[in-house]
Amino acid sequence: MSTTDITKPADLTAHADGTGPLRKQRPLYVDFMPPCNSACPAGENIQAWLSFAQAGNYFEAFQTLVEDNPFPAIMGRVCVKPCETGCNRTHIDTTVNIHAVERYIGDEAIRQKWPIQFRTYSTGKKVLVIGAGPSGLSAAYHLARVGHEVVVYEAGEHAGGLMWAGIPDYRLPKEILDFEIDRIVRAGVKIELNHKVQDILQEKEAGGFDAVYLGIGAGLIHQEEIEKDDSVYITDAFGFFNEARSNTSPYVNKKVVIYGGGKLAMYLARMVKRFGSEATVYFAGDKKLMPAYDYETEDALAEGVDVQLLKSIKSISKNKITLEQMKVEKGKAIGCNEFETIDADVLIVANKQETDSGFLRSVTGMVINEDGTIKIDMQRMTGYEGIFAGGDMLPGENRSATIAIGQGKKASKYIDAFLKGAAFQKPEKHLTASYKKLHMWYKTDAPQKAQDKLAPELAIQNFDEVNAGLSEKETRYEAQRCLSCGNCFECDGCFGACPEDAIIKLGTGNRYKFNYDACTGCAVCYEQCPCHAIEMIPEPVKTI
C-alpha cells in the first residue's frame, strides 16, 4: 500500500444508504512492507516464503525464495542478515532466525534436487556478464528468467567469485556452492571459465551481445607502503586463499599476523588457527571503525584469535614487525608516534579491497576511481551505453555477497528495460510496518531456537561447518514465530471483534472485505488487527 493510496484512496466512494454518511473515518485493508523484506539487500519476499514454511510447504517456499535469490543454501550460511536486525520480534523477545530457515529450505532443495520452476520465452537478445561472482551470477540468472540468452565470462578456473575464493569451508562448504551454481547453469546460463576479458568492446562485438554487465568484484588487496626486508613471509588475503588450497606449509605452526579489520581478516585468522598457528589481527582503527560484524569478531575471539585495535604496521625487519599506536580523531585513525615491536613469521594483508578494472580505463565515457571501482548512473549503466555494473566493483566499504546478489538482481531489471528500448521505472515503495503500529492481543512468548555450534576447541581442529542447521521441526517453529507484520494472515481478529458484523470472510487465502453499509467506523477492527493490515482513513467526501 503506497502513501498515496492511504491518503487518497482512489477506489472508495461514499454510500447513500446505511452508516456511510455518518462516519468520519473508515477501515481499509492494506499491505505494508514487512521490516525484514525492507532490510533485505537481495530484495527477498521473506514474509511470503516464511508463510509457506510455516505450513511445512518447503517446495513452494523454495520457489518463492528463488524468484529473488538463486542461492538460499549459500545465503542461509553467509548472509550478514540485516533482515534479522530489522525484525519486529526483537521488541518482544528475539528475532526470527530467518537465515536458519532459509538455509533449511536451500538444503532441502539440494537434498531433493528441486528444479527452479519458471516459464519464459526467448527475447532474441544476448547479454554478456563478466565475472561469475555473486553479483554476476545473480544478474545472469534473473536475465535468463525473463528470456534473454546469457553468457558469463569468468577469468578464474572456478565460478563463485569471492564466495569460492574468500569464504572458508567451515562457513560455506564448497559442495553447497557448486550445487547452487550448477542450478543456475541448468536454468539456461552458460559459464565460460578461464576466459579473461582484455578488450570489452571487442568481446561485445565478437559475441554479438546486446548488453554487458560488469560484476568483476573486488578481488585485489591494496598494496600497503611498508618498509620491509625479506625476513617475514608476506602475502595478501586472496594470495593466502589460493595458496592454502594446495600448500599450507607456510602457515603451519607459525606466528601469523593478519592486518585488517573486516570479516575477511576474521576468516583468515580462524583458518590460521586451524593450521595450528598463532593468529593475531591488527587493525588501525577502533571498534567503531572496524568493518567486521560483532558476531564475526566474537567467533574469532572464542577460537583463540587475538584481536588488537588501534595498531598500524610501519615496518618489518629481522622477523619483527614495528607497530605504531593509533588514535581516532574525527572518524579517522592517526598515528601517535609511539611504537612497539612483535615477532612474526607471516604477514597476511587483508586491508582495503580493490577492483582489477584496468582493462576498462580505455573505454570512452567510463569513470574509474583510484581503487578500481566504477561509477554508474541512475539506470545502473556506466558511461558507455549498454554496459552496466554492480556488486563489489561499485564504490563503498559495505561489501557482502548478499548486497552483490541484490545489485545483480536490480541491474537485470535495468538491463531488461534497456533491451526493450525503455528506461526502468522503480515501483513506489510500500510503507514499512513498524512495531509501534502492531496491536498484539495474543500471547507471543516463543524464544528463538538458536543453531547448534561446534565448541571452539573442536572447531579449530578441522574445517567442518561450525554452525549446524535446524531440524524440520525447529524450522517450522521458527517460521511460525513470524508476526506477519503489515499483511493479513487471516487470524479472524477483525471478524470476531466487529460489533456490526460488517466484515465478510472471503475464504481461506482470500482474506476479508468490509461491508461499508454496515460499518460505523468505530475502529475496533483496526485496534484488533495484530499485524497492522488495517488502516483507518478519512471518510471520502460525498459527491453528487
pLDDT tens digits for range 520-538: 999 999 999 999 999 999 9
What CATH code is assigned to 35-116+454-480? 1.10.1060.10
392 or 444, higher pLDDT: 392
Q: Give yes or no for residue 18 having a pLDDT over 60.
A: no
Task: Average the pLDDT over 490-508 and give the result.
Answer: 93
**pLDDT value, residue 133:** 96
Q: Give yes or no for residue 13 having a pLDDT over 50.
A: no
Residue 64: its H or E element: helix 58-65
Q: What is the CA radius of gyration of the chain?
A: 27
Confidence class of residue 509 from pLDDT cuts 50, 70 and 90? confident
CATH homologous superfamily of 126-219+355-419 equals FAD/NAD(P)-binding domain (3.50.50.60)
Q: Which of 18, 100, 12 is nearest to 449 (CA)?
A: 100
Task: Average the pLDDT over 398-422 and give the result.
Answer: 94
Task: Average the pLDDT over 391-419 and give the result.
Answer: 92
For CATH 3.30.70.20, the residue range(s) in the chain are 3-31+488-538
pLDDT tens digits for range 141-187: 999 999 999 999 999 999 999 999 999 999 999 999 999 999 999 99
**pLDDT value, residue 19:** 53
Q: Which residue has the cell 560488469?
A: 214
Q: Which amino acid is at 122?
A: S
Neighbouring residues of 148: CB distance < 8 A, sequence distance ≥ 6: 123, 125, 126, 127, 415, 416, 419
Q: Give yes or no for residue 8 having a pLDDT over 70.
A: no
Task: Average the pLDDT over 206-231 and give the result.
Answer: 93
- Report whether 517 contacts 526 (CB < 8 A): no
**pLDDT value, residue 225:** 86
- Report whether 280 contacts 306 (CB < 8 A): yes
Collapsing DSSP to helix, strand or coil, 412 comes out as helix
**pLDDT value, residue 426:** 86
For residues 384 and 393, give the distance between their C-alpha atoms in angstroms, rounded to a whole number.
16
User: What does the DSSP 8-state code read for residue 383?
Assistant: S
Which CATH architecture describes the domain 3-31+488-538?
2-Layer Sandwich (3.30)
Q: Give yes or no for residue 428 having a pLDDT over 50.
A: yes
- Report whether 528 contacts 32 (CB < 8 A): no
**pLDDT value, residue 244:** 92
User: What does the DSSP 8-state code read for residue 539?
Assistant: P
For CATH 1.10.1060.10, the residue range(s) in the chain are 35-116+454-480
Confidence class of residue 540 from pLDDT cuts 50, 70 and 90? confident
Q: Give yes or no for residue 10 having a pLDDT over 50.
A: no
**pLDDT value, residue 21:** 53
Q: pLDDT above 90 covers what percent of the chain?
A: 85
Residue 211: its H or E element: strand 211-214
Q: Which of 382, 383, 399, 381 is nearest to 391 (CA)?
A: 399
For residues 533 and 433, give the distance between their C-alpha atoms in angstroms, rounded to a whole number.
9
User: What does the DSSP 8-state code read for residue 469?
Assistant: P
**pLDDT value, residue 102:** 98
Q: Which three cell numbers stand for residue 335?
A: 598515528
pLDDT tens digits for range 442-471: 777 888 998 999 999 999 999 999 999 999
Asked if CATH classification 3.40.50.2300 holds for the domain at 221-353, the reply, yes or no, is no
For CATH 3.50.50.60, the residue range(s) in the chain are 126-219+355-419, 221-353
Q: Give yes or no for residue 56 having a pLDDT over 70.
A: yes
User: What does the DSSP 8-state code read for residue 247?
Assistant: -
Conformation bin of residue 312: beta by default, left when phi > 0, alpha when psi is -120 to 50: beta
Q: Which of 372, 407, 400 is nearest to 137 (CA)?
A: 407
Confidence class of residue 3 from pLDDT cuts 50, 70 and 90? very low
Q: Give yes or no for residue 2 having a pLDDT over 50.
A: no
Confidence class of residue 12 from pLDDT cuts 50, 70 and 90? very low
Distance from the Cα of residue 360 to its chain's centroid: 27
pLDDT tens digits for range 254-301: 999 999 999 999 999 999 999 999 999 999 999 999 999 999 999 999
User: What pTM was estimated for this model as a whole?
Assistant: 0.91
Distance from the Cα of residue 55 to its chain's centroid: 25
Neighbouring residues of 11: CB distance < 8 A, sequence distance ≥ 6: none
Alpha-carbon distances, residue 281 vs 125, 262, 278, 391, 404 (angstroms): 49, 10, 10, 27, 26
Task: Average the pLDDT over 97-120 and give the result.
Answer: 96
Confidence class of residue 475 from pLDDT cuts 50, 70 and 90? very high
